[in-house]
Amino acid sequence: MKNSNLFQRTWLFVPIVGAILVTSGLLLIFDTSPIEAFTAMFEGSLGNQSKLLSVLAFWIPLLLSSAGLLLTFKAGLWNIGIEGQIILGSLAATWVALTVEAPAPILISLEVLAAMLGGALWAALAGILKTRGGVHEIFGGLALNNLAIILTNYLISGPWQPAEGGTFRGTATFPDAALLPRFAESRFSPLSLVLAAIAFALVAIALNNTFWGLKLKALGRNAKSAFLLGVSSQREAVYAMMFGGALAGLGGAVRVLSWFDSLRQSISGGIGYLALLVVMLSLYRIFWVPFVAFFFSAVLNGSITLQLRTQLHSSLGGILTGVMVLFVLLFGDPERLGIFKNGGNEDDGK
């Protein structure tokens, strides 16, 4: 049984190895050395302190969003709207930064709370559309994502435009007191790492050591059976969406207050959609999520150096991660493939 559980846990590496082999084959077709390409990506992401800090700065909002998605996936919900929830968190943090004058500790606290509230309320809207209006969370989430983008563009070019006039580039730069303290003039904020660690720990505890986490698991596995056991599918679905949205909103605050210093177009950077891939590649196991999210962050940041050194387009990193997710969909579930007939006795962190 122990060997079976060990093999089941390490099955995650099957899609990773498969994706690397496929990507290597593509590189050979284009007459490029896979070793040279992967070395360039490694050096572009972890080659020095500056590059490592950039990876960490991108990793933190990705980790926050992925942790939030675990809650909604556990409840059987596809929270596609997490991209919009990141944006609403950024908008809420921006509103505080532009309108409130206070010492840095108070101002940053207000920005973080506002961002979490903004993300939670936007997620609650998607949850209510599903539970009350019968709108599937995928369609409701996509609509809300587009609405969040439209709202961002309106605010940048309208009410929040810089003093020199309207522009689609971004708002005025935030005051220093509104920005998260950053390390060594990088985009990485140690405070954001602390917040992410606390949030991730809360999600892990909620899923594995609380009655609410048990209800989410029951709801995700069989909503009708959960209802017979007294679990309110509507209430728990909205709560799961709100909790996940709050973490996404916090990720949005990290983006706008440390990665940037003002509200910009495309402030989310596609992190919400990328978080969906992270969770799927992690096989919905919470303790794999930080490592997979870090891997994605390193690959995408290292792709820039890849383009400079090999003249290959930086989208190769996206191809690599996309192929990994494809392999997960094909081979990622060992129980579905019949490798473990009895399902094991694992503590999967679900």
Per-residue pLDDT, 174: 92
Could you give the 3-state DSSP secondary structure of residue 165? coil
| Residue 143 lies inside a defined structural domain of this protein | yes
Residue 208 vs residue 29, higher pLDDT: 208
| Residue 340 lies inside a defined structural domain of this protein | no
Degrees to nearest 5, angle at CA 345 with 343 and 350: 85
Q: Tell me the per-residue pLDDT of 265-301, one tens digit each, with 9 for 90 and over.
A: 889 888 998 899 889 888 888 888 999 899 888 888 7
Per-residue pLDDT, 2: 52
User: What is the rounded CA–CA span in Å between residue 253 and residue 227?
Assistant: 36
**Residue 312, pLDDT above cutoff 80:** no
Q: Whole-model pTM?
A: 0.85
The end-to-end CA distance of the chain, in Å, is 20
pLDDT range class, residue 58, cuts 50, 70, 90: very high
DSSP H or E stretch at residue 221: helix 211-221
Per-residue pLDDT, 83: 94
| Residue 338 lies inside a defined structural domain of this protein | no
Domain residues for the domain of 105 are 2-331
Contact 156, 244 (CB under 8 A): no
- Tell me the mean pLDDT in the region 315-334: 67
**Residue 231, pLDDT above cutoff 80:** no
Structure tokens at 104: 């840095």
Residue 45 vs residue 272, higher pLDDT: 272
| Residue 114 lies inside a defined structural domain of this protein | yes
Q: Closest by alpha carbon to 189, among 53, 50, 45, 48?
A: 53
User: What is the rounded CA–CA span in Å between residue 327 and residue 290?
Assistant: 20
Structure tokens at 177: 């007191």
**Residue 148, pLDDT above cutoff 70:** yes
Per-residue pLDDT, 25: 83
Kindly report the average pLDDT of the chain as a whole number.
Answer: 82
| Number of domains the chain is built from | 1
| Residue 141 lies inside a defined structural domain of this protein | yes
| Residue 336 lies inside a defined structural domain of this protein | no
| Residue 64 lies inside a defined structural domain of this protein | yes
* Residue keyed to tokens 């539970």: 131
**Judging by beta carbons within 10 Å of its beta carbon (0-12, 13-18, 19+), is residue 185 exposed, middle or buried?**
exposed
**Residue 211, pLDDT above cutoff 90:** no
- Tell me the mean pLDDT in the region 74-87: 91
Q: Is 181 left (phi over 0), alpha (psi -120 to 50) or beta?
A: beta
Q: Tell me the per-residue pLDDT of 154-167, one tens digit each, with 9 for 90 and over.
A: 999 888 888 766 55
- Tell me the mean pLDDT in the region 92-111: 95
| Residue 162 lies inside a defined structural domain of this protein | yes
For a pLDDT cut of 90, what percent of the chain falls above it? 41
CATH number at residue 201: 1.10.3470
Q: Closest by alpha carbon to 268, among 67, 80, 83, 15?
A: 83
Distance of CA 298 to the CA centre of its chain: 14
DSSP β-bridge partners for residue 170? 264
User: What is the rounded CA–CA span in Å between residue 298 and residue 46?
Assistant: 7
Residue 253 vs residue 309, higher pLDDT: 253
Q: Closest by alpha carbon to 86, among 269, 335, 261?
A: 269
Lowest mean pLDDT among 37-51, 197-211, 328-342: 328-342
Per-residue pLDDT, 245: 95
